[in-house]
Structure 1
């Protein structure tokens, strides 16, 4: 695994509210194995390459709570904290602004509630982005897929699932490319970084993820997370 041949950055976006998790606190702060989810996520990047510059984007009103959790858990892995915006697009813009000192390198944008990304995925994504400009982690569909037309009660038709992929994070890009792409005006199409860069005119390259790299969104996901951690011990 080659981790030292170019500079790496990570923008970890952690703006969830916990509503779908049915939790009283933001989902990035929920504990798994006794530690907030976000700490597990940051540690994955530090374990892969201790020289990565990590920017964590949080809602402004949640920053103090995060700092308190870091003190409580003795969490001292280096990371810069930045206040997010009203949308994910604006939050990534704020994360990029925090890297004002950097001119070159590869930046990964990652969900703060994907704590099971592994070193192999990170290496594949960083290396592909370094070579090609972009690298988006994705997996094949397991289930059958149908296209629905006509709204509720409309017709449905089977489609070839091999033509589709489920997109995960990290999504990695050469830093200058992502900066320029995020200078575009925000539109509803921009649901992730790949859509922003694609709209800018750059080809999106996919790298293989894995099914364990889940985004913790619902209470059932926390059960899976605890099971994954037990298996890793």
Structure 2
């Protein structure tokens, strides 16, 4: 793949509930500074100038609402195709559904969470460039700054040891993959997707299970995951600061 411009597609997961917000609508439709999270996330992907196709995975019953939120709330520019599919029982199953609906000409696939709306277009560009340079799988991550303890299963738990945080990273999305590698990883791990207890929390985990290396590049603090109302307030602060 080195040396030419690949066709890049994205699977944007937006099938989560809004229960932690106390919201009656899915999390992806919760507004951040007046715009749905999913619209901001899609717009940031498109602003990279890399992505020509976005498949959004939505909760059952909300496909039309998610589609309308992206088309009316995001400035995607010319030439970006958007369609929406129903998500699955787990995040892994949702990504598999999105991957299955992508056009087969995609050579690089980004998997991104609508709950991380503030990823910069520059980070998207760096991820794609790293795949083009010859790496099968690339993820963004930030250093872990808290002290991390391993604990036992007692009540209350007892600290077993302090983990060396120098070797730890908190992983973000988008994650970027050579399309054929991601498809192969999902096929090999498909049996895990039907149960949240066995499903992977990120697609890089499926590539790791194939025994392939997953490369890590520097992520961004603003690419935080919006899960609670407190997170939403922090994301609004990042926006005011120019994220």
Q: Please, what TM-score do these two structures have when normalized by structure 1? A: 0.90
1:147 pairs with 146, 150, 153, which one? 150
Deviation of 1:215 (Å): 0.9
Superposed CA RMSD: 1.9
Residue in 1 that maps onto 2:85: 82
Residue in 2 that maps onto 1:180: 184
1:118 pairs with 120, 126, 129, which one? 120
Deviation of 1:68 (Å): 4.4
Secondary structure of the corresponding residue to residue 20 of structure 1? helix
Deviation of 1:165 (Å): 0.8
Distance 1:51 1:112, change over 3 A: closer
* Larger deviation, residues 108-117 vs 156-165: 156-165
Deviation of 1:84 (Å): 1.3
Distance in 1 of aligned mates of 2:231 and 2:62: 22
Deviation of 1:51 (Å): 4.7
Q: Does the CA-based 8 Å contact 2:12-2:113 persist in structure 1?
A: yes
**Deviation string, structure 1 residues 104-158 (Cα, Å, up to 9, x no partner):** 5110100011111012211221122222111011110111111112333232122
The answer on 1:165 being equivalent to 2:169 is: yes
Deviation of 1:34 (Å): 1.4
Distance in 2 of aligned mates of 1:50 and 1:209: 18
**Matched residue pairs, number?**
228
Equivalences for residues 54-133 of structure 1 within 5 A: 54-69=54-69, 73=72, 75=74, 77=76, 78-102=81-105, 104-130=106-132, 131-133=134-136
Distance in 1 of aligned mates of 2:45 and 2:70: 17
Deviation of 1:213 (Å): 0.6
Deviation of 1:22 (Å): 2.1
Distance in 2 of aligned mates of 1:42 and 1:152: 44
Residue in 2 that maps onto 1:134: 137
The answer on 1:52 being equivalent to 2:52 is: yes
Distance in 2 of aligned mates of 1:69 and 1:177: 31
Residue in 2 that maps onto 1:211: 221
Runs of 4+ residues over 3 Å off in structure 1: 67-71, 73-78
Q: Please, what TM-score do these two structures have when normalized by structure 2? A: 0.87
Distance 1:51 1:195, change over 3 A: closer
Gaps of 5+ in 1: none
Deviation of 1:50 (Å): 6.0
Gaps of 5+ in 2: 193-197
Distance 1:186 1:151, change over 3 A: farther
